[in-house]
Amino acid sequence: CLLQLFSHLNKSAADNILFLFTNARSTHYAPGDSGPVLESILKDLRERPPNVDIKYSTNTIYCFDNESFRYLVATVPPNNMKFSEDNKIDYNASWDRSVKECKRMFDYIRTLRPYNIRDTLSLNSAKQVILLLSQPLADIAKNIADNQIQCEARKRRILECESDINKLQVELYVPQVDIISTPLPHPKLVCTDTSCCTRRHVQGTSVTQYDNECQYTTLMEYENEQFNVGIGYGKFLFGASQSQTKSSQKVMCLTCGHGTQSHRYIRYENKVQHRQVRDETKQQRITSVSEAAEAQRSQLEELEVKIGELTRESNIIVKCMARFAYFLAQNSLTRMDDHFERHIQQLIDDEVNTGAISDDDSSKVIVGKLKQLLDSYNCEKQLIINALKSMNANEFNISLDEIQGMISELCGLKWTGSTIVRLMEMQRCVQVRGHTRVNVVSHSVPDKAAVFSKLNVY
Ligand SMILES: [Zn+2]
Ligand SMILES: [Zn+2]
């Protein structure tokens, strides 16, 4: 929960983070049990990447209690509740203490350097766009590979025709594999385990369909089973050490039973469509053998150009994604998963797991191409890290403008640009709808909102 909050902030916010503890009278105006937990989280952030040092000291810790305010509300009309004199003294002390703490906090805040919220907002929206792009770009990277395979196959067929004009006329076209995506009504949790999805093959191009809509459940696991079955009862009575009762949580899927590792959220579903792009005028002109040879030559050239252009687009995608990943790591308070890498790896696993079923070796070619893509992606990331080492760490900084430039470059790509725009928009819409749904649930007034129901005022 704390990490989720941090994930919305940038590294530059680290110095301006304060920790406020409420209901602190019961813990004698100290952090109480949350203290050690919080400290261990902060230690983790400090010692592991992204190595952010969030200060945890008297200056950043403030403890309050609002019981005196509740007391005040309870004593005045329409509540008119009566309290003993002892209570009143307690609440007075509590009020003074909290006011003092409040003053101390404002004094400290005055010494802090202001944190630029506008930067955060634009940084956050850039981060959002990048996160929304990782799935579409992985899908498109595969689509590029699919298209290249189709073009290569077409080249072979056209070469086979030699001088047979009739046969050649049939084969003369540029194949195009399109991604047809349908947005889902809300983000859907799916399982990527082979037993939970179906692979469909359409003319040598494969798509994964997820069979289930999954649901997580949280299981509590006790580290010490003895304690659980009651054998350690004696120990428990005589003050068993805290570690014996420490429990860990395990999240599992209710629907299929697989772990979180094999699950992910999707916001749209993909299908593929094969098209044949023919140049009719070119075909009508073929009457002689020499014209056929010319048509064959120009068609091969056209295919070659398309393959080349697709390779270039794929390289741009990889380059941008590597920079995006660096940008995210550079600006986040918390550790970011590499979503792009995970998506590509997922596509590879899908192909490998079902490769045996497909009737041709296009699956192997696709795996080869995707692995190559992943290699060059990691290579790009390494290049950035190397560049970083060779100069001052603060100098190598990917700016917001550069990120925006890269996004518009991606959207303007000849073959895949329009699909990138379409899928990104889809991601955004479904994401927003997902938020709406979650908000409706979390904003309902809980049944036990005792204070509110007593006051009858909202
Ligand atoms: Zn599942
Ligand atoms: Zn499953």
pLDDT digits (tens, 9 = 90+) for 427-456: 888 888 777 755 554 444 555 555 444 444
For residue 86, is pLDDT > 80? yes
Confidence (pLDDT) at 107: 93
Confidence (pLDDT) at 420: 92
Helix (H) or strand (E) holding 339: helix 339-354
For residue 186, is pLDDT > 50? yes
Contact 346, 190 (CB under 8 A): no
pLDDT digits (tens, 9 = 90+) for 382-395: 888 887 777 655 55
Contact 209, 198 (CB under 8 A): yes
For residue 188, report the distance from its CA to the centre of ligand 1, in Å.
11
For residue 184, report the distance from its CA to the centre of ligand 2, in Å.
20
For residue 330, report the distance from its CA to the centre of ligand 1, in Å.
33
Please, which pLDDT band fits residue 311 given cuts at 50, 70 and 90? very high
For residue 339, report the distance from its CA to the centre of ligand 2, in Å.
20
Distance, in Å, from the CA atom of 153 to the CA atom of 151, rounded to the nearest integer, reads 5
Name the one residue in this structure whose structure tokens are 């190598």.
396
| 233 vs 50, more confident | 50
Q: Closest ligand to 215 CA?
A: 1
Give the ipTM of the model, two decimals please.
Answer: 0.95
For residue 193, report the distance from its CA to the centre of ligand 1, in Å.
8
pLDDT digits (tens, 9 = 90+) for 418-427: 999 999 888 8
If we measure between CA atoms, which residue out of 18, 405, 425, 436 comes closest to residue 181?
A: 425
For residue 448, report the distance from its CA to the centre of ligand 2, in Å.
37
If we measure between CA atoms, which residue out of 322, 330, 320, 342 comes closest to residue 408?
A: 320
For residue 424, report the distance from its CA to the centre of ligand 1, in Å.
26
For residue 266, report the distance from its CA to the centre of ligand 1, in Å.
13
pLDDT digits (tens, 9 = 90+) for 212-240: 888 877 665 544 433 333 333 333 333 33
pLDDT, the chain, mean:
80
For residue 356, is pLDDT > 60? no
For residue 214, report the distance from its CA to the centre of ligand 2, in Å.
8
For residue 219, report the distance from its CA to the centre of ligand 1, in Å.
15
Tokens linked to 108 = 């400290």
Distance, in Å, from the CA atom of 288 to the CA atom of 82, rounded to the nearest integer, reads 108
For residue 163, report the distance from its CA to the centre of ligand 2, in Å.
53
For residue 410, is pLDDT > 60? yes
Please, which pLDDT band fits residue 357 given cuts at 50, 70 and 90? low
For residue 133, report the distance from its CA to the centre of ligand 1, in Å.
24
DSSP 101-166: HHHHHHHHHHHSPP--HHHHHHHHHHHHHHHHHHHHHHHHHHHHHHHHHHHHHHHHHHHHHTT-HH
For residue 10, report the distance from its CA to the centre of ligand 2, in Å.
35
Window from 348-357, 401-410, 415-424 with minimum mean pLDDT: 348-357
Contact 333, 14 (CB under 8 A): yes
Residue 46: C-alpha distances to residues 35, 80, 334, 335 (Å) = 16, 51, 10, 11
Residues having C-beta closer than 5 Å to ion ligand 2: 191, 193, 196, 256, 258
CA dihedral 352, 353, 356, 358 (to 10 degrees): -80
Residue 441: C-alpha distances to residues 123, 259, 446 (Å) = 28, 25, 10
Please, which pLDDT band fits residue 292 given cuts at 50, 70 and 90? confident
Please, which pLDDT band fits residue 301 given cuts at 50, 70 and 90? very high
Q: Closest ligand to 190 CA?
A: 1
In 8-116, which ranges are continuous DSSP H helix?
Answer: 34-47, 67-75, 85-111
Please, which pLDDT band fits residue 81 given cuts at 50, 70 and 90? confident
Distance, in Å, from the CA atom of 320 to the CA atom of 405, rounded to the nearest integer, reads 10
pLDDT digits (tens, 9 = 90+) for 18-48: 998 888 888 888 888 888 888 888 888 888 7
Confidence (pLDDT) at 391: 66
Q: Closest ligand to 192 CA?
A: 2
Confidence (pLDDT) at 64: 86
Confidence (pLDDT) at 227: 34
Q: Closest ligand to 253 CA?
A: 1
